[in-house]
Chains A and B, each alone.
Chain A
Amino acid sequence: MSDVISTDAVIVGAGPCGLFAVFELGLLDIKCHVIDILDRAGGQCAELYPEKPIYDIPALTIVTGAELTHRLLEQSKPFHPEYHFNQMVTELKKLEDGQFELKTDGGLVFRCKVVVVAAGGGSFQPKKPPIPGIEAYEGNSVHYSIKKMEILRGKDILIVGGGDSALDWTLNLQPIAKSLTLLHRRDDFRAAPDSVKKMRELVSAGKMQFKLGQVTGLKGEGGVLSAAQVKGADGQAFEISTNAMLPFFGLTMKLGPVAGWGLNLHENLIPVDTEKFESSVPGIFAIGDINTYPGKLKLILSGFHEAALMAQQAFHIKNPGERLVFQYTTSSSSLQKKLGVA
C-alpha cells in the first residue's frame, strides 16, 4: 500500500488553466497538488506549440506557449504547489467521509476535498498507427511506451520513427537487444542531432541496422509478432524479422480515463455551471478546454476566468460556513503577504 498524499485540492492537468488555478486557489489558502501525464508543465502549450506565438492573452501582445507556461509557473510559485509528472489519473471516486480519492497509473494515491479537472483535450497518449491487425499484438509484441526495459532484453527489436522518442529508445535498448533495427520513412530526423550521430555510429559499428521505409503489415501468430512488412523508400517491399515493435508517431489527445469518473459528459466534455464551474458531482470542478457551457469559447483567457470563479466555491467546500471576503491583490495586505511581496 503506497502512502496516501493528503491535500486540499488536486488539479488534473498542468496546462495554463491548471497552473492559474494553483494561483487562484493559493490566494484563498487552498493547497494544491497538480498531476499531468506529460513530463513537464504546459499541456498543449508545451506539447503542441511551445515555440508558436499566442496573440490573445490579455496585456501580452505576443507570447509563446513555452513563455506563457514559464510565467504561470513563476506566478504560482509563492503557493508551493507540488507537481507530479508522467502520471495519468486513472481513478477518481468519492469516499464515505466526503473526500475524493484519486489514483494514478504510477501508483500514487491522493485524498482531497476539491478536484479540479483541467485536462484540456484529455490525456496525451501515444498515437497508434493504423496498421491492419496491429491490435492483436499490442501489449505483447507491440509497445507504444516502455515502463520496464527488461521485458525487451534479448528481443529482436524494431523501432519505427524519427523523433526523439524513437532515437532515445534506440540508444537505450540497443545494448540489451538481441538485434535492433530502426525504421524511418526518410534519412532525415527531427530528433536531436547528437542522438542521430550516436545512432549512425552504432550502425557503422555493425551493432544495429537503419532502414528506410514504412510498415504496411505485420506477420505473426497468437499475438506474437515474427516480422513487419515494409514498403521501402524506393517502393520495394521487404520484411524485417522482429518480435518486439515500438512505433513512435508522437502523441494525440484522448479523453482517456475521465470518461470513467462518473461525471456527466456531453460530447466528451464536462458540462458545468457558469457560476462555480462545478461538474455534476459537487466538489469536482472542470475548467479550460475540457468543460462546456452555453457560449463556451476554448480560449486560455476563458479558462483563467473559470479558475477564479471555481476557487471561490472551492473555498466554501474547504471552509464550510465561513464567509469569504473578496479582496484585490493590489490593496490587500493579507493577499500580498501570501504572495511574498508585502
Chain B
Amino acid sequence: MAKITFIQHNGTEQTVDGLPGMSVMETAIKNLVPGIDADCGGACACATCHVYVEPEWKEKTGARNPMEEDMLDFAFDVRDSSRLSCQIKVATALDGLRVRVPEKQF
C-alpha cells in the first residue's frame, strides 16, 4: 500500500490508498478524486489525467516515456513537473507521493 495525496488547484488535499501495480490515475478514479478526467481510460491517448508532481517526488516518479511526452502536447500549461498520471505506477517506494491537479483538464 502507498499513500498518495492529490492537491487540488484550490489547495484542498485528499490522501488515498494506492495499490502497487495500479496507476496513479486509476487510484484517483477509484477514489473519486476530482479533476482527473481520464477520458481514454488509461491508454495514454488523451492527456486528461495531467498532474504536476511535487518537486521532492520528481526523481522517484522517474522520467516521462516518449508516448507520454507526445501526449503532453495536448495538455495545457505543461511544466517540468508535468506527468500523465496513467503513466505513473504506484509502488511502495512512492508511499507519500504528492501530486497537484491542474485547475482544468481540457
The chain A residues found within 8 Å of chain B, CB to CB, are 44, 48-49, 52, 121, 127-131, 161-163, 184-186, 188, 190, 214, 216, 249-250, 252-253
Contacts and interface: CB of A to CB of B under 8 A. Distances in A.
13 contacts: A48-B40, A49-B40, A121-B39, A127-B74, A130-B104, A161-B73, A162-B73, A163-B73, A185-B78, A186-B73, A216-B77, A249-B106, A253-B39
B13 interface: no
Given A188-B69, A190-B70, A214-B77, A130 B106 contact: yes
Given A129-B76, A250-B47, 9 more contacts: A44-B40, A48-B45, A48-B46, A49-B45, A129-B106, A190-B73, A214-B78, A249-B73, A250-B73
Nearest to A47: B45
User: Range of interface residues on chain B?
Assistant: 10 to 19
Given A130-B103, A130-B106, A250 B43 contact: no
A185 B77 CA distance: 9
B87 interface: no
B70 A249 contact: no
Interface string B43-78: 101111000000000000000000001101111111
- Chain A to chain B: the 4 pairs with minimum beta-carbon distance, closest first: A250-B74, A190-B70, A48-B45, A49-B43
Given A48-B45, A250-B47, A252-B48, A128 B106 contact: yes
Nearest to B82: A185
B81 to A, nearest CB: 13
Contacts of A163: 73-74
A54 to B, nearest CB: 10
Nearest to A53: B43
Contact of B43 (A52, A121, A253): A52
Contacts of A52: 43, 45
A127 B70 contact: no
Contacts of B46: 48, 250, 252
Contacts of A130: 76, 103-104, 106
Nearest to A252: B39
A75 to B, nearest CB: 24
Contacts of B78: 185, 214
A67 B42 CA distance: 20
B75 to A, nearest CB: 8
A162 B72 CA distance: 10
A127 B106 contact: yes
A44 B45 CA distance: 10
A234 to B, nearest CB: 12
Interface in B70-105: 70, 72-78, 103-104
Nearest to B73: A162
B32 to A, nearest CB: 15
Contacts of A250: 46-47, 73-74
Contact of A185 (B43, B73, B106): B73
Nearest to A121: B39
B36 to A, nearest CB: 15
Contacts of A129: 76, 106
A127 B105 CA distance: 10
A44 B40 CA distance: 8
A260 B4 CA distance: 41
A44 B46 CA distance: 11
Contacts of A185: 72-73, 78
Contacts of B77: 214, 216
A190 B45 CA distance: 13
Interface in B23-44: 39-40, 43
Contacts of B70: 190
Contacts of B69: 186, 188
A162 B45 CA distance: 15
